[in-house]
């Protein structure tokens, strides 16, 4: 069986060192942010590709060499990362191919990191083309190439020190053929190097969107910071992170610090989610619990809600970390229920377009079952996008209460909710008679029966 390897060739995003031609028109910082978005898009589509080709090993080759540790940490790279070596781009590519062929790989594909119109099917097609050819080249519209694949080393094809010119593809194709390599061309794609290339990005499903992450919590700020720092590593430039703390009594005004919008609202997860959603501006809303761990490409994945307007709501597969057999069974049931009944829970990382959120009126329930009601309301506006990627959540609630007991309690609460019990009654039964944390008056038509006064 062939051993396949994919190398993502990338630069560590630093203003003034990436997209320098484009920076002359839009500035160093804007060019750097654009390159980072393109890079995160490439990382996401490689994850898509890996779902269809799990035996293909992925590597990231990064320049400058000293930035490798920073790059790996900044992007939470789950694959091996090594520095690019050589005096010019061609030599760096040749040495990267040599490194992996020496490790025993039979087919190696090198992919650039600055394209918006490449997809997972292109990568599949490139490896299929290597079944019948010794080399493949993916032409870029500016005369270069966005991908090159080989079945054996060919350093002569990369020895010319002149790169970034309009004849790069032609020269490389000629060099490959002169070395006796049967070469096949892949579909042409457009890289993003000129101001005229930017117009296509404004219509692209991933680059025309910004994500607002809304996190309801009762935890103090210092306790959340390690989790927030991990979450920020997966977000794209321009994305928002909004943390909404539930506070009884006077609330502090909104403030921004550490790249986070901090809000306060009356306690109640539904209320906090609504407040965060209506304060942020992204056209995608992603609702996260503060004990969930999304994967490194999650911000790419939630953008898929923009691909097809027939989808109104999205979620991830549920997993627990740490886990055991009983928790795995609970996760399997939750994922099966989601697939069959289209009823995900909030700890599956719900996300939607802002127009859908506005159309359903946000979260109707203040304390419990706000996620279930929201998912049911979204049904009338489209289908559920159930992503194959897993989001991991803490099993603390199950372990504290006992796995079986907590599971039975959750299902009884869901059943009682469907029977029409008020949110206040559900809250007190779920929390063993604990009073609601704040005086609550709900608008008419929103969960009638919760219009009593409750306070600690």
- Whether 339 is covered by a domain: the verdict is yes
DSSP structure string for 259-319 = TEEEEEESS-HHHHHHHHHHH---SEEEE--TTEE--TTHHHHHGGGGT-TTEEEEEEEEE
- Whether 39 is covered by a domain: the verdict is yes
- The last residue of a domain, from among 155, 174, 199: 199
- Whether 425 is covered by a domain: the verdict is no
Domain count for the chain: 2
pLDDT at 435: 55
Tokens found for residue 339:
């697939």
Burial of residue 400 (number of CB atoms within 10 Å: 0-12, 13-18, 19+): exposed
pLDDT tens sequence across 398-439: 998 898 888 888 778 777 777 777 777 777 776 665 555 544
The list of the chain residues with pLDDT below 50 reads 438-456
Task: State whether 127 and 178 are in the same domain.
Answer: yes
pLDDT at 123: 97
Task: State whether 185 and 122 are in the same domain.
Answer: yes
pLDDT tens sequence across 325-371: 999 999 999 999 999 999 999 999 999 999 999 999 999 988 888 99
- Whether 133 is covered by a domain: the verdict is yes
Task: State whether 274 and 407 are in the same domain.
Answer: yes
Integer CA distances (angstroms), 420 to 288, 292, 411, in order: 26, 29, 14
Asked if the peptide bond before residue 10 counts as cis, ω within 30 degrees of 0, the response is no
Task: State whether 350 and 272 are in the same domain.
Answer: yes
Parent domain of 14: 4-199
Task: State whether 87 and 224 are in the same domain.
Answer: no
- Whether 235 is covered by a domain: the verdict is yes
Distance (Å, whole) CA 42 – CA 53: 16
pTM for the whole thing? 0.90
Task: State whether 38 and 184 are in the same domain.
Answer: yes
Distance (Å, whole) CA 9 – CA 256: 35
- 91: three-class secondary structure by DSSP: helix
pLDDT at 437: 59
- Whether 450 is covered by a domain: the verdict is no
pLDDT at 440: 41
Task: State whether 82 and 31 are in the same domain.
Answer: yes
Task: State whether 40 and 154 are in the same domain.
Answer: yes
pLDDT at 434: 57
Task: State whether 191 and 240 are in the same domain.
Answer: no
Residues in the chain: 456
The residue among 394, 454, 383, 382 whose CA lies nearest residue 423 is: 454
pLDDT at 45: 96
pLDDT at 278: 97
Task: State whether 236 and 162 are in the same domain.
Answer: no
Task: State whether 128 and 217 are in the same domain.
Answer: no
pLDDT tens sequence across 254-264: 999 989 999 99
- Whether 451 is covered by a domain: the verdict is no
CB 218 within 8 A of CB 246: yes
pLDDT at 419: 77
pLDDT at 153: 95
CATH code, domain carrying 402: 3.90.550.10
- Whether 439 is covered by a domain: the verdict is no
Task: State whether 193 and 227 are in the same domain.
Answer: no
């Amino acid at each position: 069986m062939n051993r396949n390897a994919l190398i993502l060739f990338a630069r560590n995003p630093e203003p003034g060192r990436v997209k320098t031609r484009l920076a002359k028109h839009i500035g160093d910082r804007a060019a750097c942010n654009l390159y980072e978005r393109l890079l995160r898009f490439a990382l996401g589509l490689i994850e898509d590709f890996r779902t269809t080709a799990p035996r293909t090993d992925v590597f990231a080759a990064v320049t400058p060499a000293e930035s490798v540790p920073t790059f790996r940490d900044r992007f939470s790279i789950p694959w091996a990362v090594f520095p690019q070596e050589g005096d010019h781009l061609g030599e760096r590519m040749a040495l990267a191919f040599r490194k992996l062929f020496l490790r025993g790989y039979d087919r190696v594909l090198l992919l650039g990191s600055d394209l918006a119109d490449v997809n997972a099917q292109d990568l599949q097609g490139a490896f299929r083309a290597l079944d019948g050819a010794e080399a493949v080249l993916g032409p870029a519209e500016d005369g270069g190439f966005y991908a090159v694949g080989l079945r054996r080393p060919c350093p002569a094809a990369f020895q010319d020190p002149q790169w970034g010119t309009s004849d790069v593809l032609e020269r490389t194709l000629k060099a490959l053929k002169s070395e006796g390599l049967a070469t096949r061309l892949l579909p042409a794609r457009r890289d993003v190097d000129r101001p005229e290339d930017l117009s296509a990005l404004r219509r692209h499903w991933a680059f025309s969107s910004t994500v607002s992450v809304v996190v309801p919590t009762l935890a103090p700020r210092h306790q959340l910071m390690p989790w927030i720092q991990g979450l920020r590593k997966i977000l794209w430039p321009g994305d928002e992170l909004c943390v909404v703390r539930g506070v009884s009594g006077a609330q502090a005004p909104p403030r921004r610090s550490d790249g986070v919008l901090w809000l306060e609202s009356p306690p109640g997860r539904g209320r906090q989610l609504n407040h965060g959603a209506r304060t942020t501006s992204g056209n995608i809303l992603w609702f996260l619990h503060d004990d969930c761990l999304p994967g490194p490409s999650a911000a790419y994945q939630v953008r898929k809600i923009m691909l097809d307007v027939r989808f109104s709501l999205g979620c991830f597969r549920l997993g627990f970390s740490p886990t055991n057999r009983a928790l795995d069974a609970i996760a399997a049931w939750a994922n099966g229920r989601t697939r069959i009944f289209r009823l995900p829970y909030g700890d599956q990382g719900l996300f939607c377009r802002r127009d859908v959120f506005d159309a359903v009126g946000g979260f109707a329930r203040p304390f419990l079952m706000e996620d279930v009601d929201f998912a049911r309301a979204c049904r009338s506006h489209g289908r559920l996008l159930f992503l194959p990627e897993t989001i991991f959540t803490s099993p603390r609630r199950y372990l504290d209460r006992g796995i079986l007991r907590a599971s039975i309690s959750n299902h009884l609460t869901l059943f009682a909710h469907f029977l029409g019990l008020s949110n206040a009654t559900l809250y007190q039964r779920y929390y063993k008679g604990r009073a609601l944390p704040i005086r609550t008056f709900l608008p008419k038509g929103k969960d009638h029966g919760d219009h009593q006064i409750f306070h600690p």
